[in-house]
Amino acid sequence: MKANLIIAIGTFSILTIGCTRQQEKEAKIEEKIDALLKQMTFEEKIGQMSQLNSNGNVADYKELIKAGKIGSFLNEINPATINEMQRIAMEESRLKIPILFARDVIHGFKTIFPIPLAQAATWNPLIVEEGGRVAAVEATEVGIRWTFAPMLDITRDPRWGRIAESLGEDPYLASVLGAAMVRGFQGNDLAEPTSMAACMKHFAGYGFVEGGRDYNTTMIPEVVLREVVLPPFKAAVDAGVATAMSSFNEINGVPSTGNSFLLRKVLREEWNFKGFVVSDWASVAEMIVHGYCADEKEAAMKAANAGLDMEMVTPLYAKHLDSLVKEGKVSMKTIDEAVRNILRIKFKLGLFDNPYVKIPQTSKIYSKSHLAAAKEAAIQSAVLLKNEKNLLPLGNQVKSIAIIGPLADAPSDQLGTWTLDGDKNYTQTPLKAIQAEYSNKLNIIYEPTLGYSRDIDGSNFSKAVAAARRADVVLMFLGEESILSGEARCRAEINLPGIQSQLVEEVKKAGKPIVLIIMAGRPLTIEKECILADAVLYAWHPGTMGGPAIADLLFGKAVPSGKLPVTFPKTVGQIPIYYNHKNTGRPPHENLQLIGSIPPGAKQLTMGYVSYYLDAGADPLFPFGYGLSYTTFEYTNLQLSKTELNNPDEITVTCQLKNTGKYEADEIVQLYVRDRVGSLTRPVKELKGFQRIRLKPQESKTVTFTLKTEDLAFWNADMKKVTEPGDFDVWIGPNSKDGLKGSFKVLP
């Protein structure tokens, strides 16, 4: 007991000392900012609030830099240019304030990881953090110290092109993974040369745009905003995210760039955010187009007063803030607060002491360790959706394979969206990986058939069928090109582009087993193709090392473990469809009468009056959290530590998980709850926890979750977060649809 007390006191002392040192460090930064602000002219202050897009020509910016009129540059990646610009700032400007260089490094700089939506399918914060760390190490090597990621927009609409950048539909999953990405980018200390300032975006509500159309309108009740949209951003703030970006969209009639409720009340007052907020590209000026501001001057005024610290690309701050301050429409206090927020991050990044790019003797770009990490991320992100008769993994009985489809050897497309600096010459495609590993063991027949995913030339269909007939198994690599997902890449229909679906139908006529590998930036409506195929592996856009990762999965060197971070609809008409929906007064049941079963002349009153589609039913194609393995897992013996809880209190929920199959593998065990009755209606299920559990064949393990009553809280009609007494259901299972169920009560 005495020894434990000594250890506890020692630990407390270390934490106290660490906390005190951090406070002292932060206090010194504030002192430096105070001293600098006193010396700055108004023009120099506005300069810090201005970010320009570099054209690479130093001469064009030299006088502006000398005058202190540029705080940040976007899209400059030449270390020599960066160093020269920084030299002018540090040696020729009056106050020697360094410039912050930024770039969209979304899921890798040179070594490209799977798209963020795919990373979310790993349900593995360590994988996501490692992806951010690799990106930061590579990007900082050329001088990039600020990235515009993670994108934390929750979305329920796969038509939206930017779903590829998201972490899915669930606020809890996105919160855990978003915080991990922040830690990866920023490292243990922002001042480290390999650390990049992260930027949580888009604040807020961008994923709720009407019709899945980019830049569009959103109408979000505050309770939904706080319950669904904001939690991942709050998690990023808690993780120490350095910056935030306002979103393009308006929200309830007010563009986010001029939204003081978001930027001041929530971000600053409620969350105590100490970083700075940057606009999205030209979004200050776009408030005029929205119809929220009459002219540039009003846009600058509303943005600054709302708490927008830095303007990206457009010069409205530089043109109008001077007169706005003189007219008393923007206060000097507002200007000083914005500049303080920006300088604080520059000090934390260590730019005042180490402003220049130092090229390492040995580059880490495309290093073996980085490629290995990217491959592991691609392996864990792939989701096995179907595997009839255990077709996968391919065994020794397979002597020949036909590789068919436009994405089997598409090095640029498999990188996915927002890969500004990825080099397709380093991409390892599935075709090349399979040929390299198995050409001496298998007869490999390659027939791309289509030149690209949107190709509508079916003249080579006969070649595909002939190739399939010569093979034991057909591997079809289909999906969408990278250009079809991402910003401004929204689709009204999200089926396989071009005539890929017809290609599957034709190849099916060969009578050979078909493995369908989908490479895409979003969920696609592939119900028909899933029926035709014997096995389906959803590989997303898997990045630089997608080829070797897919090859290992197909041939059993790795076992699929990915789970869907978003619901897959059967048809686009079901959208929005998501697991954590509300119930209705007439929820669907199992015996729904679908359109094909309605007899001619049927009377209206013969129909069941419940909430569903006559032609699509009520269920999705695949539910949130779904994913198969090459082995099988058995969930048994759900146990609750108690059935009644006080408030505050906690409960442990356990079950037995057994690997009942033949392969050592990971299972992502998921915990869901439902508050049966609330002062506001509650979702039918909410994710509250998950664990990745690795088991050998026939091995069992007790999986334990702890739920606190505060985990059951929600925002009520008075916009207070409360845990209400009442009955709760709880599930542990493999996805949002299946699992073991229990119940408990929170007492008044």
531: left (phi over 0), alpha (psi -120 to 50) or beta: alpha
* Whole-angstrom distance, CA of residue 376 vs CA of residue 49: 40
CA dihedral of 84, 86, 92, 96, whole degrees rounded to 10:
-170
* Whole-angstrom distance, CA of residue 428 vs CA of residue 61: 40
Indicate which residue of 280, 309, 413, 666 is catalytic.
Answer: 280
Beta strands 726-733; 740-746: pairing state = antiparallel
Query: What's the count of helices (H) and strands (E) in the chain, helices before strands?
Result: 20, 26
Q: How does DSSP assign 340-405, residue by residue?
A: HHHHHHHHHTTTTT--S----SS--TT-HHHHHHHHHHHHHH-EEEEEGGG-PSP-TT--EEEEES
List the one residue out of 536, 550, 566 whose CA is nearest residue 735. Answer: 566
Q: Which amino acid is at 616?
A: A
List the one residue out of 725, 667, 640, 630 whose CA is nearest residue 389. Answer: 630
Distance of CA 22 to the CA centre of its chain: 30
Phi, psi at 467, each rounded to 5°: -65, -40
* Whole-angstrom distance, CA of residue 456 vs CA of residue 533: 21
Q: Return the structure tokens found at 116.
A: 């963020």
* Whole-angstrom distance, CA of residue 488 vs CA of residue 486: 6
Beta strands 383-387; 535-538: pairing state = antiparallel
* Whole-angstrom distance, CA of residue 743 vs CA of residue 723: 16
| Rg from Cα positions in the chain | 27
* Whole-angstrom distance, CA of residue 96 vs CA of residue 84: 14
Taken in order 542, 546, 547, 549, the sign of the CA dihedral is negative
Phi, psi at 196, each rounded to 5°: -115, 140
Residue in the block written with tokens 């810090």: 48
* Whole-angstrom distance, CA of residue 118 vs CA of residue 136: 19
* Whole-angstrom distance, CA of residue 674 vs CA of residue 627: 22
Write the CB contacts of 586 (distance below 8 Å, at least 6 apart in sequence): 609, 610, 611
Respond yes or no: is residue 413 known to be catalytic.
no
Distance of CA 107 to the CA centre of its chain: 9
Question: What is the DSSP secondary structure assignment for residue 488, as one 8-state letter?
Answer: T
Residue 650: count other Cβ atoms within 10 Å of its Cβ: 14
Residue in the block written with tokens 């059951």: 712
319: three-class secondary structure by DSSP: helix
Beta strands 740-746; 644-645: pairing state = parallel
Residues serving a catalytic function are 280
